[in-house]
Amino acid sequence: MNVGHVGIWSVELRLGDAGEISERAAELDELGWGALWIPGLGGGDVLGDSERLLKATRRLTVATGILSIWRHDAEEIAAGHHQLQQAYGGRLVTGLGVSDPAAAEQAGRPFRPVADMNAYLDRLDHSATPLPARERVLAALGPKLLDLAAQRTAGAHTFLVTPESTADTRRTLGPAATLAPYQAVVLDPDPATARATARSFLSPFIGMAHYARSLRRQGFTEADLAGGGSDRLIDSVVAWGDIEAIGRRVRAHHDAGADHVALHVITTDGAFPRTQWRELAPLAH
């Protein structure tokens, strides 16, 4: 996986105006970011959205973070991945996740995370155009899925984790697998407004059972999870402040064993964070 040391994770690059997406992606490529990550969301044409980014860029890698295995047919993903790799010089990484029991229920299936992911990876392996293990990663939080990521993919893309958790994950994955944590970012030096911005974004995730379990494994308490997240939790999983503060968090993940850190700039207006991406660009190198 050639994703560089730091990348950009962006909802806007999936849901924004198509023309502006292409313009912003081209600029991010010129700024030197190693990868652009887009979320899987509720499904949809994520391969087409990935191609828009690949077409607008020349160098960086495009990664999905993360496709739900319940919303995308394995054979179609394998075929589409192969076509995009052939057309754009092997610059696509497909990230996969098992979502949660509700997603499995909507698909009419019981929820067995490790078995379900194993079966999906089997289908990718046995498709007419197999999706190679080195070109896919897993959204893995628990130890069993992390083991699977190390055994059957290039590595793991982790969500809402501290640098201390990154160190634990590196020990589980071993030295060879790629570890690419997501890192939420608020470029705001004021503690009150920065935490408020972070909390408004994180509150729904903290309320989801699988993310809450992950945060408890990282040492957070029920009190930390209440009310949209304590200051301790917010400060631990969101990097806020000036560029120096963001840079310290990125370095902390790298020092803990991360190969790549995907920065998600959180804003309150839903617009493309063009100014923030430019300000953060020195961290790309």
Q: Does pLDDT of 1 surpass 80?
A: no
Helices (H), the chain: 12-15, 18-31, 46-56, 74-87, 101-106, 113-125, 143-152, 163-173, 191-206, 209-217, 222-225, 231-237, 243-255, 274-280
Q: Is the distance from CB of 273 to CB of 265 less than 8 angstroms?
A: yes
Give the pLDDT band (50/70/90) at residue 284: very high
Residue 18's pLDDT is 97
Six-digit token string for 97: 């996740």
Quote the tokens at residue 125: 């392996």
Residue 193 neighbours by CB under 8 Å, 6+ apart:
none
Q: What pLDDT is attached to residue 100?
A: 80
Q: What is the pTM of this model?
A: 0.96
CB of 174 within 8 A of CB of 254? no
Give the DSSP letter of residue 253.
H
Name every residue whose Cβ is closer than 8 Å to that of residue 13 and which is 6 or more positions away in sequence.
Answer: 21, 24, 25, 36, 38, 53
Residue that is written with structure tokens 């052939």 in the block: 86
Distance of CA 78 to the CA centre of its chain: 20
Residue 72 pLDDT > 90? yes
Structure tokens at 113: 């995370």
Q: What is the pLDDT of residue 45?
A: 96
Distance CA 101, CA 170 (A): 27
% residues pLDDT > 90 (the chain): 92
Rg of the chain (C-alpha set): 18
Would you state the structure tokens that stand for residue 150, as one six-digit string? 């190390």
CB 103 within 8 A of CB 70: yes
Q: Tell me: the pLDDT tens digits for 4-53?
A: 999 999 999 999 999 999 999 999 999 999 999 999 998 899 999 999 99
pLDDT digits (tens, 9 = 90+) for 172-203: 999 999 999 999 999 999 999 999 999 999 99
Per-residue pLDDT tens digits for 95-104: 999 988 788 8
104-157: pLDDT as tens digits: 888 888 889 999 999 999 999 999 999 999 999 999 988 999 999 999 999 999
Residue 140 contacts residue 146 (beta carbons within 8 Å): yes
* Burial bucket for residue 223 (CB in 10 Å: 0-12, 13-18, 19+): exposed
Measured between its terminal Cα atoms, the distance across the chain in Å is 17
Interval 226-263: pLDDT, tens: 999 999 999 999 999 999 999 999 999 999 999 999 99
Bridge partners of 239, per DSSP, are 185
pLDDT (0 to 100) of residue 126: 98
pLDDT score, position 244:
98
How large is the average pLDDT for residues 158-173? Answer: 97
CA distance 86 to 280: 32
What is the secondary structure of 63-128 as a DSSP string? EES-EETTTS-HHHHHHHHHHHHHHTTS-EEEEEE---HHHHHHTT----HHHHHHHHHHHHHTSS
DSSP designation for 36: E
Contact 91, 54 (CB under 8 A): yes
